[in-house]
Structure formats: C-alpha cells, structure tokens
Structure 1
C-alpha cells in the first residue's frame, strides 16, 4: 500500500511529495529538508515514542552525530509550529529517551480534498438552511425538528462547521496527557468523511486546544410494559446503534458489554453516564405486539440530563433494520455540531451509517443476539451455547460476516474460560475469520480476530500488529483490537504505547471485570501500585467472585511480601473455577517457592493425573515443575507447549515462572524459535 501523501494536524497540513507544510491561513512553513523529515517521521507515528537513536539514524543515515544536532532540529521544528516545551501541543519530550508527536493526525486522501474544497467555497447557504443544519446544543426539541437534518446537503454541513468554529464541549475530568492520547486513538486514523470534515474544521476560526472527543454510551432499551418483553430485541437495538455509531470519527462509543450492566427496567441513565464516564447517553424503550414495533429513543446530555433529541416510531417488525438506521442517523444529526471532527451527515434520513458485515434477516439477527448474550459470562456452558447459536445464524444467512466473527470470538474465549486445546480453538476460529474477511474485507472486528490468531497461535508478531492496527484504523472503538495490541506491545517493552491501548480497551468497556483485572496486573508489574489497586477494586466491585481478579489479588499480596494472603487468594481462585488449571498451577508454583514442597508436589501430581484423561496446558505443568527444581521435565513441558501452540508462550521472555530456566540451552533455543530474543524486557500477566 503506498504511503499516505497528506496529513492534517492542529493548524497544519503536511504534503509529503511537495515537501510542504501549510498553515490553515495558507502560509507555507519555511522548513529545511532535515527539519521536514523529522516532522514527517513524527507525524507518521502519532502517539509513539521515537527514541533519539531511531531519529538520529533516520535523519543522518550512515553518520555518527551528537545529540545536540537532534536537539537543534527539534527546537527549530517547535519554533516553526509555534510549539513549546511547556504546552507541548505537538511535540512532547520524553526525558532521556526521545520525542512523541501528541497532536491528533488525520490522513487526507485525494478524494477528501476533491469533495471538501469545493464545498467550502461552494454555493451560498441560505439562513434557513443554516438554521436547519445548526442543531444548537441541548434543547433541540422533538423528532420533528431533527428529522430534516440528515437531508441537509453536505455543503450545509461543511458551512455550519466553518461558521460555528470549534465546538463547545464540556471539559472532562481527564488530565492533559489522557486528552491527547484519547484523541489520537479515537481520531488519529480517521478516513473518508473524517478527512473532509477536518478540512472544514481547519478553515474555521482558530480557537484554543482540541477538546476531548465526544464520548457516548448506548444502553439496552427498556420494555414499555413488563408483559410481552423481548430482551433480545432490547439488546439488539442498542447493539445496532453502537455498531453504526462506532464508525464515526471523533466519537468514542462504549462497547455493548459496558451497557449490558444497565439493562434493567429501572435503569438510571445518569448513573450509567457517571459509571461509564461519558458525556452523552442514548436510551429508549420498545414494545413488540405481533409484527408491530413501537420504539422511543432519546439522546441525553450527561451534565444535566437534558434531551438533545427524542423521537417515537411505530413500525412493522420486519422494518427493524431500517428503524435502527433511522435512529442512528437522528442521533448523529443531533451530535454532529459537537463532534471534534464534524462528520458530514448522510444524504438521507434512512441512509445506513454502517452495516458492513451485517444481515437483513431478522431470524438470523435474533440468533446472533442470543449467541452474543450467551458468550458474555465466560462460562463453558454459555460459550458452547453461543457457538451453537452463531452457527444457526450463519445457516440462515451464509453471508452474515459478523456472525462468523462472533463464532471465532466465542471459540477464542474458551481459552480464557477453560483448558481448551489451542488447535481446537484456532483452527475453526481461523476458518470463520477467513470467511468473514471474504464477505467483508474491511470489517474491523475480523481483522482484530485475525490478529489474535497470528499472535497467539502463529507467534507472528509483526503481521499480528499490522492486523490490530488495521482494525483500529477502520474502527477505533473495537475493544479487543486495543486489547490485543496492548498485550503485544507490553510483552515487547513498548510500555507507553501498550498502556495507552490497554486503557483504551478498558475505557470502552469500563465495567468489564476482565479488562480491569488485566490492567491491574500489568500495572503491578510496572510498579504502579496505587493505580493497580484502583483497577482491581473496580473488578471486584463488578464481579466479587471473579477468579482472574483473585489471581491478580494474589499477585498484589505476594509483591507486597504478604505470602499468606497471597496463597489464600490463590486458593479462592482455584475454588472459583474448575475448567482451568491456571490457578492450581500458580498455587503449586508459589507453594514450592515458599518451601511448602509437599503440597506443591501433590498439586503437580493432580495435574499430571488430569493430563491422562484430558488436555492440560503444558505451561501449567512446567510452572510447577520449574518451581520444584525439576528442570528437565519443565523443559520437556515447554517444548510440548511449543508443539501444541500453548498461548502462554507469548509471555515466555518475561514471565517470572521461568526465571530458573533462562540460562538453559533448551530454553534459549525456544526463545529463538519464538523470535522473542530480539525484544527488550516486557511485562506479563499472572
């Protein structure tokens, strides 16, 4: 794929082939070739730490230069951009390491400029058209006022963006660092309409720092009356709106799983907004009687509960997909003046915002929703039921790409919940992902699923990273794309970037006990104890008996030299799951390290006995064997782990389980086979 030719950031546009940087007022910057090259390197890697060595090798290839030369280049670049080391609007200095580009970067394609520039200078907009498109902040009125907005021309939308200037967005509680990270991740790879919207935005009057991207959650719809409740349809309405709105540049949308926890009939949308840390909430109610469907929906501003839009609809159930498109468009129309990137509105009130990989078969859709619901709890019986239902949905609509992605994800979740044989997980999951990509090559969720297979099963780090990034370039709201990229980076000593993506995953689903527990574990490894305790507390608040959280609790106690409490937490984790041997393995390992060898040996014997009748991950055996000093059996188990593609091997380089084996020739050979020896020190979860 050819490199992008134009980038937009802050007040500037960079054109690669012309070696030109232009201010929003049309003034070109006077940059030397080396200063331009330094800016291009930074812009092409937004949010990533570029070390001094990397920059000096790139800017002075084949030469040995002093750091003062690089400092002078960066100083000249800051001066040209009007940046400084205090505010760091564009370039952040990381002491003793290097530099990071912290502004939001948007890739501009040729067609973006072809569309946007004529619109900016296009036909005059009448006061009536401007009034129709403006959609003032909260208090917009009912659906009749909003209904006409999607029919406004693209020229009106751009003209309003120009006239309004920067949107007035309520400041969030985040620190400045979190602001730019979130903005970069949410909109840094915006494409298509996002590029045209940026051009309109940068031709508006200048007005201060970029605001926090708009954050929104969609809650499961409530029943209008208790009788005749259809919980799958209630979930489906929110799932569809999330899928459609998640693709909008500049809008951070919480995941379906985040909203599920507020699905009761007595849900409080303002409490949900607080717990999910969002500025906007979409909620509604519905009732189905036979083939008739009645739906009410509203968009609420979390600061005071005021309604920016509301609407009521009576439709045939067979029109449910058109209704979802219609509501999505109305919500976006109400949000458009407040979005950081000002996306242009679709051309008609019923025009779908998204729908890639979806279905128009209502029965297949119902089965998909039921499958999704069963997969959420990480219970073996629920995952098995989920697999069955996804297959039924595919049988009804063989072109349903998202159902194939769901099938692959349900398979992969078995690795969290059980001691599943890796080949029995990844081979059917891979077949499902391949089919999804055949049906919908641009489907972000499919690329993220492919990334996990490449990472956890093929041990192909570079291609896995490309797939995760491709998913996020398409849709920055895919939770497990952020999670996969975070784990990959953290195991490769790319800490700053890894924690960014880990936090983004958790922020998209802030009440997920799994994501909170995983983040707590990595924070502990990094020595960030206060933050780790906050995340761990949230995991227990949501799921008091979650066994993975107890593993992290044990990690915390053992790190703080409280072995008795650590062992007790491990025993709780063992009692909370029978399907996974992971907790028993960790318990045996820690007992051996604490000198309680008899009990550790008994646990090892139990695991070996279990292996005679069912699969036990070889790393579970190797951890106890290594702690007991059984070096040769431990290495045998690790070799077997490689043969079966045990996914725990991705942490081999830094996992403290293997401290006593690192000098063994067989261990070093395994590191080479996994291509892990090239990476610096990283982190691993419990």
Structure 2
C-alpha cells in the first residue's frame, strides 16, 4: 500500500485530484450564482456538475499515465525519477488539471447556450404588426387605431401558415424611435407591417406598408380611402394581401373566417373596440369593458364577439374574486354559449367557455377540448395557449404545460402578463429558480406589475425562502391597494416567519373588510394555515368549495397544499373537487 501511495505521489495523481476538486467546486459556486441571473434553466447547473464529475476520473487517468515535462507530454514510465525538473513538472501537472476542469465546464456551458438560444430567427413567416398611428385630429380616437391594429393581428393570426407577434408585445413599440431593423431583431421577425389611420366623420383613410425588417425593402403597400362601412373589407384585404406577399397558404376555411363581418352595426363595433381597449388594461378596466360590451349588445344582440367579451369580463371578475364565483361564472358561461350559438367558429368564444369549464365547473377534460378547438381556429392565440397550459397543469402534465406557455411567450415576448403566466406555470412545475428569473424580467418591463411581485413571493415561499418572500408580498400588497388575495399571502408568510401578531392583524383586517366587500373564505383560510390552525383552515377551504372558488383547482397538485396532503379531510375535499380523478384518466 505504501508503495502504491508513493507511486501516486510520484505521478502527482493526488495533487491533480486536489486541484481538480478545488477548481470544480469554484465552477459550481459560480454557476449556482450566475446561471439563474442569466436565465438558464434549473437543469443546467446539474448538467455542469455531472460533466465535471465525469471529467474527474479522466483527469486522474491522465495524471497516472502521462507526465508533463519541458520537452512535452511523455508517458510516465519513460520519465526518470532523478529528473531535476520536479517542481516545474508539478506546476505543469496542476495547470493541466485546472485547464481540464475549466475546459469541461466551458464545453458544457457552450452546449447549454446552444440549446437555449432563441427558438426562432428573423426568417420565414414571422411577422409583427406595429401599432397603427392615430392620424385623426381627435386624440380620443386612439382606441380606434389600436382596435384596427388588434383586428388585423387577429385576422393574420388565424392563418396557420403565419407566425404573428401578439398585440401586447407590439403595443410596446407605440411611438417608438427604434428602427424597423432593430425592432425586427428584438422580436425575431422577418417582416413588419406599419401604417396610419385617419378617421373623419363617416370616412376612414388607412395606409399600410409591409416591409422587410432586414433590408427596409417594401414588399407591399396600399392606401385605402373609403367609407367607414368598408372597414371590415379593408381589414380582410390587408390580411389576404399580406398572406399573398409572404406566400403563406390560406385555406378556404381560414379565408371564410377572415372575410366574415362581425357585425353590420358600426356603432356596436365602435363600442366593442372601446371594450377591448379597457379589457386589455385589466384591473378596474374590466368593469369598464363590461359596460361597453353590454352597450354594444344593446345595439346588436347578435354580435358574437361582444358576447365573448362579456364572458371574458365575468370570468376575470370571478377568478380574481372581485365578484362571488357563483355570481360571475354562470354569467360568463351564458355569454360564451350565446357567442358559440351565433358563431361556432369563433375561437375566442371557445377559449371563454374553456375558462368557465376549468375554473368553475372543474372540468379540465372539457376545458382542454374547448381550448384545443380554439387553437385549431386561431393557432397564434397567446390567451388560448395560456389557458391550455392551465388545464394541462390540472391534468398533471407540467412539462406539456410549460411547452404551451413557452409558445405563448414566443408569440408575445414583451407581455408582462404572459411572462407572469409562464412563471406561474413554472411554479406549479416546482421549477422555482427559473420562475424567479422570469419574474425579474417581467418586473424590469413593468416595475408596477403587482401580480409579478406576488408570484415572486410565491416562488420564494415554496422554495423554503420565507424570509425572501416577505418583501415581494409586501410590494404586491402596496401596488395593488391591498388586494385581498395578496394580503392573505403576506399574512401567511408573516406567520411562517414567526410574526404571529402581524398575521393575526391581517386576519382581523380581512374579516373587517368582509363586512363591506366580498372576501373569499379562501383568503382567510390561507392566513389560518400559516398560523398552524389547520382545522379552521379546512373549515374555510370547505366554505370556498361551496362557493366554487377557482383557486381550489390546484388542490391536487399545488405546492401550497403539500402540508395538507396527510389530512383526511383535505384529501376528501380533493376527491370531491374531482380534478385528481380526471388527471388519472389521461
């Protein structure tokens, strides 16, 4: 044994092993800090560790078999023990060990970067429709130009052979001074449509240009100067001319859907555009949007898209608990069904009905079928992809859910809502570090986006980082004017941090507020669970069940509920909800 150890020392195997281990450890520490900040997936750190482990025996074999000398690499057997270059050779061997570890790590990183590079380049049939400029004398006509932009995007998105950047992202380029080339590079698109709209009385003038984002060459241009009654024909013509310019296949079914006028009442259309404008603002804009959609339906009761708009408003009011779920979702269902009765090929109505089936009926299989139909009709709909991911989560298919939101983010890369949806899906998949990275990017886009701060708190709390979650929950509470859902999460985190008095103060606040506004029993349950009062929490979760709270849809999969899975009462509640049983049939 002594002879063997002496031989290991002579061949400097032990020294190489020590040097390799130290360098590998340093690489791991750097990767652990840097990779999340650079947006690398969770698996990349494990990949680096595995690669450096695999390189360890290779380095030892190399050290045993070879010696680095001033004359070059030579087999150890041919190197005499009396050589007087021992110190030089030792340093050279150590340098080789370090170089081997670093080379392996760099090779692994290159493979990682190659795999997570942008999923599409500015080639092919990717297109962005920039916000059309409002050239009218009235600034309040902004909603009209935005609405026309939105409708053109919708028309183009229904062509399966085109990939269209979503409205939320392109609206960030409103009044931008960036060149088309720069915008094309940022979005990864080959072509850009831009234009302007002037509305004067009953006439509208629209100019549009389709431009190669890399060369600035005009691929197509047209000016339309017509009566306002021709607005739908103009939108159809623009979509068809772009498809022709990009040599995109336009099926007969797609052509028929694009050419179908949504309403014959221009006043109803104007009210609908105002509704969509406010719905995109979220928050208090939801109620304003609902008012405009309902006014549009007073003008034209058969306006299918306005019925779908009503459905979306009620669904959001129910999901975020601005209204009791039992008040909001039945209204949403009726509106979605009426929209489909009027137009069975309306993709947004299928998406609206999917929302109700998932979050109120707790019918994930039915919801998945509806949203799959919506995606057949509108392959580029981020909203449909987003809700498809939600239903796949309910069906315990987290990897497929992540794939769907990745597609949504590809179409709508600058949308903070899609970034939040992506992070929410990653949290449900228990990929917390990735979620935190995504949320930091969303906050960079919109520092005042309360939902992103709340989700960042969730991504810390579920990852055993309660102390880190507190500041993010508090920020979400401050930004949202003490929205009850976010307040309850802050109470939970305070309790888990050991601040029982702070948590009970929040419980008292929510209880007091429940006398003036609707406070879901779910929110009270969250704080009681944080305080360790499981029996009271379960009482309130059962009350939330009776109210059909959409937040119970994660009870069979969500990390928040992990500590309750050993409780018979909770598991009985999960069974009554029925989503776990649906997941087992998939």
Given the two structures, how large is their TM-score scaled by the length of structure 1?
A: 0.64
Q: Secondary structure of 2:448's match?
A: coil
1:375 & 1:505 partners in 2: Cα distance?
Answer: 19
1:421, CA displacement in angstroms? 1.0
Matches within 5 A, 1:581-660: 581-660=484-563
Structure 1 contact 486–501 (Cα < 8 Å) conserved: yes
2:408 is aligned, of 505, 510, 528, to 505
Structure 2 contact 122–185 (Cα < 8 Å) conserved: no
Asked if residue 283 in structure 1 is aligned to residue 194 in structure 2, the reply is yes
Asked if residue 372 in structure 1 is aligned to residue 276 in structure 2, the reply is yes
Asked if residue 403 in structure 1 is aligned to residue 306 in structure 2, the reply is yes
1:358 is aligned, of 243, 250, 262, to 262
Which residue of the partner structure matches residue 206 of structure 2? Answer: 295
Question: C-alpha deviations, 1:284-341, integer Å up to 9, x for none?
Answer: 01222333322210112223332211112221222222222222221111011xx4xx
Structure 2 contact 279–286 (Cα < 8 Å) conserved: yes
Q: Secondary structure of 1:442's match?
A: coil
Which residue of the partner structure matches residue 323 of structure 1? Answer: 234
Structure 1 contact 326–352 (Cα < 8 Å) conserved: no
Question: C-alpha deviations, 1:636-673, integer Å up to 9, x for none?
Answer: 11111111100000011233333332222221111111
1:542, CA displacement in angstroms? 2.3
Which residue of the partner structure matches residue 254 of structure 1? Answer: 165
1:213 & 1:490 partners in 2: Cα distance?
Answer: 32
Which residue of the partner structure matches residue 343 of structure 1? Answer: 250
1:226, CA displacement in angstroms? 5.9
2:530 & 2:233 partners in 1: Cα distance?
Answer: 60
2:412 & 2:430 partners in 1: Cα distance?
Answer: 24
1:563 & 1:661 partners in 2: Cα distance?
Answer: 18
Question: C-alpha deviations, 1:501-559, integer Å up to 9, x for none?
Answer: 11122222222212202312433554546643442233112211111111122234446
2:232 & 2:345 partners in 1: Cα distance?
Answer: 21
Structure 2 contact 122–189 (Cα < 8 Å) conserved: no
Which residue of the partner structure matches residue 576 of structure 1? Answer: 479
Which residue of the partner structure matches residue 329 of structure 2? Answer: 426
Which residue of the partner structure matches residue 87 of structure 2? Answer: none
Q: Secondary structure of 1:230's match?
A: helix
Matches within 5 A, 1:135-146: none
1:595, CA displacement in angstroms? 1.4
1:411 & 1:267 partners in 2: Cα distance?
Answer: 38
Matches within 5 A, 1:490-569: 490-524=393-427, 526=429, 528=431, 531-558=434-461, 562-569=465-472
1:608 & 1:254 partners in 2: Cα distance?
Answer: 44
Which residue of the partner structure matches residue 114 of structure 1? Answer: none
2:304 & 2:223 partners in 1: Cα distance?
Answer: 31
Structure 1 contact 246–252 (Cα < 8 Å) conserved: yes
1:669 is aligned, of 568, 572, 576, to 572
Structure 1 contact 386–410 (Cα < 8 Å) conserved: yes
Q: Secondary structure of 1:310's match?
A: strand
2:391 & 2:251 partners in 1: Cα distance?
Answer: 35
Given the two structures, how large is their TM-score scaled by the length of structure 2?
A: 0.74
The structure with the largest alpha-carbon Rg is: 2
* Distance change in 2, residues 1:613/1:237 (3 Å): closer
Matches within 5 A, 1:458-469: 458-469=361-372
Structure 2 contact 209–218 (Cα < 8 Å) conserved: yes
1:280 & 1:615 partners in 2: Cα distance?
Answer: 48
Structure 1 contact 623–658 (Cα < 8 Å) conserved: no
Asked if residue 234 in structure 1 is aligned to residue 145 in structure 2, the reply is yes
Structure 2 contact 208–221 (Cα < 8 Å) conserved: yes
Structure 1 contact 224–287 (Cα < 8 Å) conserved: yes
1:176, CA displacement in angstroms? 9.3
Q: Secondary structure of 2:281's match?
A: coil
Which residue of the partner structure matches residue 223 of structure 1? Answer: 134
1:614 & 1:392 partners in 2: Cα distance?
Answer: 26
Matches within 5 A, 1:13-28: none
1:268, CA displacement in angstroms? 5.0
Which residue of the partner structure matches residue 9 of structure 1? Answer: none
1:262, CA displacement in angstroms? 2.5
1:588, CA displacement in angstroms? 1.0
Moved more, 524-533 or 479-488: 524-533
1:303 & 1:257 partners in 2: Cα distance?
Answer: 23
Structure 2 contact 153–164 (Cα < 8 Å) conserved: yes
* Distance change in 2, residues 1:280/1:533 (3 Å): farther
Moved more, 248-257 or 496-505: 248-257
Q: Secondary structure of 1:299's match?
A: strand
Structure 1 contact 329–346 (Cα < 8 Å) conserved: no
Structure 2 contact 136–199 (Cα < 8 Å) conserved: no
Structure 2 contact 462–559 (Cα < 8 Å) conserved: no
Matches within 5 A, 1:117-196: none
1:524 & 1:657 partners in 2: Cα distance?
Answer: 10
1:346, CA displacement in angstroms? 10
Asked if residue 438 in structure 1 is aligned to residue 321 in structure 2, the reply is no
1:426, CA displacement in angstroms? 0.7
1:267 & 1:362 partners in 2: Cα distance?
Answer: 35
2:324 & 2:346 partners in 1: Cα distance?
Answer: 27
Q: Secondary structure of 1:424's match?
A: helix
In terms of fraction of residues, the more helix-rich structure is 2
* Distance change in 2, residues 1:211/1:475 (3 Å): same
* Distance change in 2, residues 1:330/1:547 (3 Å): same
1:234, CA displacement in angstroms? 1.1
Structure 2 contact 492–503 (Cα < 8 Å) conserved: yes
2:357 & 2:237 partners in 1: Cα distance?
Answer: 38
Moved more, 400-409 or 313-322: 313-322
Q: Secondary structure of 1:354's match?
A: helix
CA RMSD in angstroms, aligned pairs only: 2.9
1:315 & 1:174 partners in 2: Cα distance?
Answer: 51
Question: C-alpha deviations, 1:144-176, integer Å up to 9, x for none?
Answer: xxxxxxxxxxxxxxxxxxxxxxxxxxxxx9959
1:256, CA displacement in angstroms? 2.6
Moved more, 578-587 or 415-424: 415-424
1:628, CA displacement in angstroms? 1.3
Q: Which runs of 5 or more residues in structure 1 are unaligned? A: 1-172, 183-209, 682-686
2:297 & 2:114 partners in 1: Cα distance?
Answer: 42
